[in-house]
Structure 1
Amino acid sequence: MSIYNKINAGFGLGTSEPITSGIEDVVYIFNQDDITLTYDAANPLIITGLTAVGSAKVYKFEGTNNSFNTMSKLAKTQVGPRYTEEIDFNIAGLSVDVKAQLMAMGYGRVRAIAVNNYKDSDSAIELFGAVNGLIVTEAERNAADETLDGGYKIKLTNPDKLKEPYPPRAVSIASGSGSATYASTLAALEALAA
């Protein structure tokens, strides 16, 4: 019996640990083909492992003052529900290296991992673009924009006509022989970070 055909649980509003909006000012981004994903055998909404292909790395993008945001939106299609996934962030830079990274994310597909401000959930850390990847669909720079000091506003989202079949996946990676925790998942990400 698939968990996607029938509901199998209920939920209530959190009173002891109310939900908190937003994500931390960090996003981990990697090329779609550089890191192999391992899924939980009983639940494909959970990623239990990230394995680098060769010497591939995960790249860490850091921001400040809530400069990153994620969004997942359900779209009903003729073949079933699909999800549009987006990550918005700002880049406070204008170097040729920044421009080269923007071009690479516009042509190649990447996946991204965000860390939610709400930590009391098994989805505290989420992966976007698991199946179809993400590309830069907007890279806007207004030199006079004082809020970004002339930097770039970036939007990563699914390529045209390639929405995701599931909502963002939870990333939950165990350490060695222990069980998966928030700390062990972050440690696994940092171990792959360049």
Structure 2
Amino acid sequence: MSIYNKINAGFKLGTDEPVTSGIEDVIYIFNQDDITLTYDVTNPLIITGLAAVGSAKIYKFEGTNNSFNTMSKLTKTQVGPRYTEEIDFNIAGLSVDIKGQLMAMGYGRLRAIAVNNYKSSDSAIELFGAVNGLILTDAERNAADETLDGGYKLKLTNPDKLKEPYPPRAISIAPESGSATYTSTIAAIEALLAI
């Protein structure tokens, strides 16, 4: 059954598991070519595996007080729907190493994983930039900004004219034996972290 042209289910909002806004104060970022993705054979919206190319790693960025945000927005094009994906986050720092990372994010292609606050869904963990990657499009620093203590406000989004063909992909990775769970998926991501 193709997911392109026909709906195949309905939904309703329930009171037993109300939707919760926002994402956790952590995102995982990696270079687009460093981690290969395995998709569910019956549903391209689900990633079932992440594998490092060589000794590549995933990098963890941690924040506080809802300092990260994600956005996905549908755009109708002549060839069908496309999605703009964005991740906004802050960096409370000003070192040369941070500036080097900002430059790398602006020139290279990245992918990012966000963990939603709403856990009662098969999309609790999502990947942004699966096909075309993300680049750093905004890096703003106001030295007098007390909310960031002079740090940077950043935005990762799709490169110009390269929107995603799907909304953010769900990540659902099973352990060696058993079914995929939230815990097994986080463990698989954390196993690829740079230490």
Q: What amino acid maps onto 2:5 in structure 1?
A: N
Equivalent in the alignment of 2:143: 143
1:14-163 equivalences under 5 Å are: 14-163=14-163
- Distance in 2 separating the partners of 1:117 and 1:180: 18
Match of 2:12 in 1: 12
Residue 192 of structure 1: SS of its match in structure 2?
coil
Deviation at 1:164, TM superposition (A): 0.1
Percent of aligned pairs sharing the same letter:
88
Which stretches in structure 2 are left out of the alignment for 5+ residues? Answer: none
For residues 88-145 of structure 1, give each alpha carbon's deviation from its aligned partner in whole angstroms, at most 9, with x where no partner exists.
0000010000000000000000000000000000000000000000000000000000
Counterparts of residues 173-192 of structure 1 (less than 5 Å): 173-192=173-192
Using the TM superposition, give the Cα deviation of residue 3 of structure 1 relative to its aligned residue in structure 2, in angstroms.
Answer: 1.3
Structure 1 position 15, deviation (Å): 1.2
Q: Distance in 2 between matches of 1:50 and 1:102?
A: 24
Gaps of 5+ in 1: none
What one-letter code is carried by the residue in structure 1 that aligns with 2:97?
Answer: D
SS state of the match for residue 187, structure 1? helix
Superposition CA RMSD, Å: 0.4
Give TM-score scaled by structure 1 length.
Answer: 0.99
Q: Give distance in 2, aligned partners of 1:10 and 1:67.
A: 34
Q: Deviations over 1:59-109 (max 9, x none)?
A: 000000000000000000000000000000000010000000000000000
Paired with 2:17 and 2:2, the residues of 1 have a C-alpha distance of 30
Mapped to 2, the partners of 1:140 and 1:175 lie a distance apart of 40
User: How much has 1:14 moved relative to structure 2?
Assistant: 2.1
What is the CA distance between 1:4 and its match in structure 2? 1.8
Question: Structure 2: which amino acid aligns with 1:26?
Answer: V
Aligned partner of residue 70 in structure 2, secondary structure: strand
Distance (Å, rounded) in 1 between the aligned partners of 2:163 and 2:14: 30
Measured in 2, the distance between the counterparts of 1:19 and 1:4 equals 26
The one-letter code sitting in structure 1 at the alignment partner of 2:49 is: G
Q: For 2:77 and 2:65, locate their aligned partners in 1 and report how far apart those are by CA, in whole Å.
A: 36
The amino acid that maps onto 1:45 is L
Q: Within 2, Cα distance between the matches of 1:63 and 1:78?
A: 39
